[in-house]
Amino acid sequence: MIDWVKAEVRRIMNTTIWSWEGWVSAWGREKSLRQWTALNVISAVAVFLIDLTPGERALILALGLLVLAAELINTAVEEVVDYISEERDPRAKRAKDAGSAMVAVAAIACGVAWLVVLLG
């Protein structure tokens, strides 16, 4: 049992380190991640300055984090596509465009939530 706990703690520590390294790498290379993060900070401040219910706050904060997650996935897709080949290929373009669309859809969802909360 002790060995299992040690192994799980080590696994969680490694996962945390790798996740942090992924964030730092994406932060350094992706201007869009920095922009979305800035918008998320502004949004997070706003949800606590405006009279909202806890559920509304949670929804907006969670959707903001979803935008960041989508941006990180998009970054991963772009990195893999570029690693495989730097040649122009319509499949590579479609993969990159789909990743970009994923970020856009997540951002639209966050914007819709803000609109509904503010206008509702």
Q: Residue ranges of the domains in the chain?
A: 2-119
- Tokens linked to 56: 């509304």
- Tokens linked to 87: 């040649």
Mean pLDDT of 93-108: 97
Catalytic residues: 71
Mean pLDDT of 90-99: 96
Burial of 13 by CB count in 10 Å (0-12 exposed, 13-18 middle, 19+ buried)?
A: exposed
Q: For domain 2-119, give the fold.
A: Helix Hairpins (1.10.287)
pLDDT at 86: 85
pLDDT at 28: 97
Predicted model pTM: 0.90
- Quote the DSSP letter at residue 50: S
Sign of the four-CA dihedral 98, 70, 31, 86:
negative
Integer Rg of the chain from CA: 18
